Structure 1
Amino acid sequence: MSALDNQLGYWNGPGAVKTFGHPLEPTWLDRIGRRARILDYGCGYGRLAGLLTGRGFVDVEGVDVAPNLISHAREMRPSTRFEVLDSPPRLRHDDQSIDAVFLFAVLTCVPTDDGQRDLVAELRRVLRPRGLLYLSDLCLQDDQRNRDRYQDFAAKYGTYGIFETGDGAVCRHHTKEWLHTLLTGFDTTATREVRVDTMNGHPVVATQLLATRT
Structure 2
Amino acid sequence: MEKQVENGDVTQRYWAKQDFSQIPGTFSPSGKCRELLESSQCVLDLGCGARALSAGPGRNARTTVGVDINANALRHLATRDLNVFPVLAEASMLPFRAQTFDAVLIVALMTVVPRYSDVERIVCEVRRVLRPGGALYVGDFLFDPNSPTYRSRYRPEDPQTLYAADEAGRPLYLARHWTEEELFSLTQGMRKESFEVSTASSRSGNKLQGFEAIFRQP
TM-score bin, normalised by smaller chain:
0.7 to 0.9
2:156 maps to what in 1? 154
The alpha carbon displacement at 1:129 in A equals 1.2
1:176 maps to what in 2? 180
SS at match of 1:52: coil
With over 3 angstroms needed to count, the CA separation of the structure-2 counterparts of 1:164 and 1:120, relative to structure 1, is same
Paired residue for 1:112, among 112, 115, 118? 115
Determine if contact 1:138/1:206 at 8 Å carries over to the other structure: yes
Determine if contact 1:34/1:58 at 8 Å carries over to the other structure: no
Paired residue for 2:23, among 18, 21, 29? 18
Paired residue for 1:41, among 24, 37, 46? 46
The alpha carbon displacement at 1:24 in A equals 1.5
Paired residue for 2:105, among 102, 107, 120? 102
The alpha carbon displacement at 1:200 in A equals 1.8
Structure 2 distance, partners of 1:185, 1:91, is 21
- How big is each residue's C-alpha offset from its partner over 1:83-127, in whole Å with a ceiling of 9 and x where there is no partner? 111x54111111111110000011111001100111111101110
Determine if contact 2:164/2:175 at 8 Å carries over to the other structure: yes
SS at match of 2:151: helix
Paired residue for 2:81, among 72, 77, 81? 77
With over 3 angstroms needed to count, the CA separation of the structure-2 counterparts of 1:25 and 1:71, relative to structure 1, is same
Letter in 1 for 2:110: L
Structure 2 distance, partners of 1:32, 1:73, is 19
Structure 2 distance, partners of 1:75, 1:26, is 27
**Which of the pair is proportionally richer in helix?**
1
1:134 maps to what in 2? 137
> 110-119 vs 30-39, which deviates more?
30-39
Percent identity over the alignment is 23
Runs of 4+ residues over 3 Å off in structure 1: 12-15, 31-35
1:50 maps to what in 2? 55
Paired residue for 1:93, among 92, 96, 103? 96
2:148 maps to what in 1? 144
Determine if contact 2:149/2:206 at 8 Å carries over to the other structure: no
With over 3 angstroms needed to count, the CA separation of the structure-2 counterparts of 1:144 and 1:116, relative to structure 1, is same
Q: Number of residues paired by the alignment?
A: 206
Letter in 1 for 2:120: R
Aligned-pair Cα RMSD in Å = 2.2
Structure 1 distance, partners of 2:9, 2:57, is 27
5+ residue gaps in structure 2?
1-5, 167-171
- How big is each residue's C-alpha offset from its partner over 1:26-52, in whole Å with a ceiling of 9 and x where there is no partner? 234434554511000110112413323
SS at match of 1:146: coil
SS at match of 2:126: helix
Structure 2 distance, partners of 1:5, 1:192, is 31
5+ residue gaps in structure 1?
none
